[in-house]
Amino acid sequence: MNWSKTIRERRSVRRYSSRPVAQETIDSLLNEAAHLYRAEGDGASHWRSLCYRTPEARHRLADSMIAKIKGSTLGKLLPGKMIDLIKKQATDTPAHLVFIAESGSTQRQSDENYAAVCSIMQNVQLLGWELGIGMLWYTDQILNSAAFEREIGLREGERFAGILSMGYYEKVPRARKRTPAEQKWTIVEGDVSGYADHLQVSSRSVLALLNDAVWAPNDGLREPWRFIYAGGGEAADRLRALNGDAAAAFLLVVAKEESDSHKREEDYAAVCCLIQNFQLLAASEPWPVRRTMPEWIYDPEHCKPFGVRPQERIVAVLALGGDGRDSRSTPSSKKT
Ligand SMILES: Cc1cc2nc3c(=O)[nH]c(=O)nc-3n(C[C@H](O)[C@H](O)[C@H](O)COP(=O)(O)O)c2cc1C
């Protein structure tokens, strides 16, 4: 698979042909997508998905989706035709996959589970694109209703992650431009020559990958990400010690924190998609990437020295190059 091409060419698709998407195709997309996600955690899956493919199932899902509109003051003002149209669109879509993540006992565990399901959803979108299947990641507030939760059987300790509505596409939607990664990029402690360069994880090669990775889906095109690169000097030393990883360089992938909780969650998901893109792209590089969510990223005092701002949070620390051995037993910042 040419990941760079697929990542750049994938589009959110809202109109589908009437051709059904076979259950076997959906099953194999899910299996492959889960396999592609390299979990850093215990390797167990803390997510589940529900498939709505038959006309009856799609009707039921559509009914639960419009329940909130119907019950709302706004819904009562909407012409019946409009509600029928929303329902028809959901019912006519060949298949919907609902994704649900387990919550964890800690914030970090919950984030890990949610990041995993978001990454798998992105993999499903990319793999589907290669088969001519277009998808739309749907999280609209109208899904925030008891009727919808009842329909998907949401249990205590579970979190709805999103719906991937899908079908074969006939026309590829127009691309919506992305901001070049350079404009969302900071280098801490300027020293990128030497160790990181020698191991081919220079800022230039990381930026090249990021400029493909930014073609991640993101609601409202908010592009809620920012990148902090540490390729040498004291910052990289500190990260080696904090992460217990002898990486040559580190990339901190940061999300902007919206005050609206729905947007904040969508933005976190979008950043997870971008990170997943980066990992897929890096798999063909001569250097490895380890995606980590260490405990220290939850402590603002640890994040501040790297330039993380008050309305931001680190979503993942990507350890680039090196062999991942604990740096506390290896000489750090070695220049060859
Ligand atoms: C977490 C998440 C939630 C989204 N929710 C919606 C949604 O509710 N409605 C919608 O039309 N698009 C939604 N999208 C898709 C974005 O609108 C789309 O990715 C963006 O417009 C960029 O277009 P592209 O995916 O074709 O590059 C969502 C995307 C993500 C990642």
Pick the CATH number of 3-168 from 1.10.3720.10, 3.30.420.40, 3.40.109.10, 3.40.190.10: 3.40.109.10
Q: Highest-confidence range of 74-83, 174-183, 278-287, 315-324, by mean pLDDT?
A: 174-183
Ligand 1 pocket mutation pick from 8, 12, 166, 261 by most atoms within 8 angstroms of CB: 12
Q: How far is the CA of 217 from the centre of ligand 1 (A)?
A: 6
Q: How far is the CA of 240 from the centre of ligand 1 (A)?
A: 35
pLDDT for res 75? 75
Ligand 1 pocket mutation pick from 10, 14, 138 by most atoms within 8 angstroms of CB: 138
Q: What is the pLDDT of residues 31-42, one digit of tens each?
A: 999 999 965 555
pLDDT for res 287? 86
Q: Whose CA is nearest to atom 9 of ligand 1?
A: 138
Say whether pLDDT at 330 is over 60: no
Beta bridge partners of 47: 101
Residues of the chain with CATH 3.40.109.10: 3-168, 181-329
- Percentage of the chain modeled with pLDDT above 70: 92
Mean pLDDT for the chain overall: 91
pLDDT for res 199? 63
Instruction: Indicate which atom in ligand 1 lies nearest the CA of residue 215.
Output: 27
Q: What is the pLDDT of residues 138-178, one digit of tens each?
A: 999 889 999 999 999 999 999 999 999 999 999 999 999 99
Q: What gap in Å lies between CA 279 and CA 268, rounded to an integer? A: 17
Q: What is the pLDDT of residues 276-298, one digit of tens each?
A: 999 999 998 888 999 999 999 99
Mean pLDDT, residues 180-185 taken together = 98
Q: How far is the CA of 266 from the centre of ligand 1 (A)?
A: 9
Q: Whose CA is nearest to atom 22 of ligand 1?
A: 217
Comparing 21 with 201, the larger pLDDT belongs to 21
Pick the CATH number of 181-329 from 3.40.50.970, 3.40.50.720, 3.40.109.10, 3.30.160.70: 3.40.109.10
pLDDT band at 335 (very low <50, low <70, confident <90, very high): very low
Which residue from 240, 225, 247 is spatially nearest to 316, judged by alpha carbons? 225
Instruction: Indicate which atom in ligand 1 lies nearest the CA of residue 122.
Output: 31
Instruction: Indicate which atom in ligand 1 lies nearest the CA of residue 270.
Output: 31
pTM: 0.94
CA atoms within 13 A on the CB side of 257: 8
Q: How far is the CA of 222 from the centre of ligand 1 (A)?
A: 10
Q: Whose CA is nearest to atom 1 of ligand 1?
A: 266
Say whether pLDDT at 334 is over 80: no
Q: How far is the CA of 218 from the centre of ligand 1 (A)?
A: 5
Residues whose beta carbon lies within 6 Å of some atom of ligand 1: 11-12, 136-140, 162, 176, 217-219, 221, 266, 269-270, 273
Instruction: Indicate which atom in ligand 1 lies nearest the CA of residue 269.
Output: 1
Say whether pLDDT at 190 is over 60: no
Three-state secondary structure along the chain? CCHHHHHHHCCECCCCCCCCCCHHHHHHHHHHHHHHCCCCCCCCCCEEEEEECCHHHHHHHHHHHHHHHHHCHHHHHCCHHHHHHHHHHHHHCCEEEEEEEECCCCHHHHHHHHHHHHHHHHHHHHHHHHCCEEEEEECCHHHCCHHHHHHHCCCCCEEEEEEEEEEECCCCCCCCCCCCHHHHEEECCCCCCCHHHHCCCCHHHHHHHHHHHCCCCCHHHCCCEEEEEECCHHHHHHHHHHHCCCCCEEEEEEEECCCCHHHHHHHHHHHHHHHHHHHHHHCCCCCCEEEECCHHHHCHHHHHHHCCCCCEEEEEEEEECCCCCCHHHCCCCCCC
The set of residues, in sequence order, having a beta carbon less than 8 Å from that of 12 and lying 6+ positions away, is 134, 135, 136, 137, 173, 217
Q: What gap in Å lies between CA 65 and CA 144, rounded to an integer? A: 9
